[in-house]
Structure formats: C-alpha cells, structure tokens
Structure 1
Amino acid sequence: MHKILFVCLGNICRSPSAEAVFATKAKHARLSVIVDSAGTGDWHVGEAPYGPMQAAAKLRAYDLSPLRARQFTVEDFSGFDLIVAMDEANLRDIERLRPTGNDTPVKLMMSYAPQTRVTAVPDPYYTRDFDEALDLIEVASDGLLAELQA
C-alpha cells in the first residue's frame, strides 16, 4: 500500500484538493493507497478547505468538506512513502526539514504531468482560478496513478 502526502502552503486549497482528487482516482482504479495533505505554514491548522475551492471541487464530485488543515512535520518523512509538493517553494520548505539520512522522495506535483510543461500548481487562493488548479491536479494525479500502477 502506498502512503502519499500532498503539501502546499496553507493546506486549504491545492493539497486538500490533490488529496481528494487522487484518492478518488485511486479508488476508481482499485489501487490501495493512504493519502493525506498538509501545509508548510500553520495559519489554517484545524480549518476546513477554503469555501470557493470546496465549491469548485464539488462541481467535479470531489468532497473536501471532511478535510482539515494541518501543518507538515518532520515526522511526515517517516510516515509516508512519497511527499508531493505543489510548487518549488513548498518543495524547498519541505527539504529544509528533512532529517539526516532520510531518503523519502519529495517530488513536484506537476512532475507527473510533463506533457503540460507546467512546473507548479498556481495557488488559487491568490489567482482565484480554482478550475485551473483542479485541471492541473487531475492531470498530474492521472500521471502519478499511472506511475504507481506500472
């Protein structure tokens, strides 16, 4: 069973969406996974995903309502087989916490969709483009799923 953690800045838009999208796709593919999400910052700990992000996801049949924000911790390196960052800044913040000797892979979400030539999932909290974020997360989730099934 694969244990995957999706990470963004506040854990209220991109990473909870990635958690829900990937969990749904894995379930449909009958792939056994454990998924979670976290943020590198602590501003929203305990909060539900951002309302407009939930609404956009719901239109695509993804339910973010049960999810609650949490902060990424050093223990996540030993708790997951793969850590997936939404952008380069998140990846750097994660790597700063990496324990010596730990080799848990940390990859960019969009590395699973090289055909897009996009390197990061833009933060819709700031861009207001929730559909763009979901489009990119869906494409990258398909790529991640294919890699895990290979």
Structure 2
Amino acid sequence: MATKIFVNYPISDLERSKAFYTALGATIDPRFTDDNGACLVWGEDIITMILKREFFASFTDKQVADPATTAQMQLAFSRDSREEVDAVVEAGLAAGGTEPKPAQDYGFMYSRDMEDPDGNIVAFIFMEPAAVEQGPEAYMAAQAQA
C-alpha cells in the first residue's frame, strides 16, 4: 500500500473554506465530511481535512495557533506549468484568498503563495522537469552555458 498524506488544519468558517478549496481544485469526500470539518481530496494520495477550530483543538492539548498571525505550516502543491500556477492562484484570489507576497521565480522553480480566508498558507509551484532530474544547481549551470 502506498503512503498517503493526510494534513489536518483549523479553519473558522467551514462553508467558506469548502468554497475556497473547491475553487482551487480540491474535491470534497462526503463520507468524511460533517458539521465539524470537510475532507478535501487533492489526488489519490493527498488528503487535507479542514476542521473547525474547536474540533481541531480536541485532538491536542497544545494551544491552537491562529493562522492569521502565526505561520505553523505551509501546504505546497505542484502544477505542470507556470500558467497552471497562475490560474489556480487567480481562482483562489477570486474565491476570497489573498496573496501575501509577489510570485517567486528562481529560474528552475516558480512559486506563488496564497492565504486562505483564515490565513493558512497554501503554495503552488512549478519546477522545470530538467531541474527535478538534474538538481537545481546543475540545471541553472546548464542554463547559464546555453
């Protein structure tokens, strides 16, 4: 069985968050969705659970960070092109997200960050396939010689 990735994080408004994340391309699995949270499927092996803050808090004895003021994690999803990165971020902005900083272009990788309506950070990246294969330094060196 392949390893699956499950990420849980707190949100304040379940319906608003469901609308935001479905605008980004996630689908909701109704079998694991109720009044406390929603199961967002990004792919066969990547699932996120958006949970109402008070329900999320029941899973830990630690204080739950406020994502509007504290960065605790960043989800990053790859896309197949820079244009796909731009398109998904534009859809997120139209659905109530914000972009906290300009796009980051490293030559071998293009990245845009956005914050969901609660302040959770979601990034979308495109990495040149040759950079994945060769590593960023070798790819950039080859680009400089071209």
Higher fraction of helix: 1
Choose between structure 1 and 2 for higher RCO, CA contacts under 8 A separated by at least 6 residues: 1
Structure (1 or 2) with the larger CA radius of gyration: 2
Q: Provide TM-score, normalisation by structure 2.
A: 0.31
Higher fraction of strand: 2
Q: Provide TM-score, normalisation by structure 1.
A: 0.30
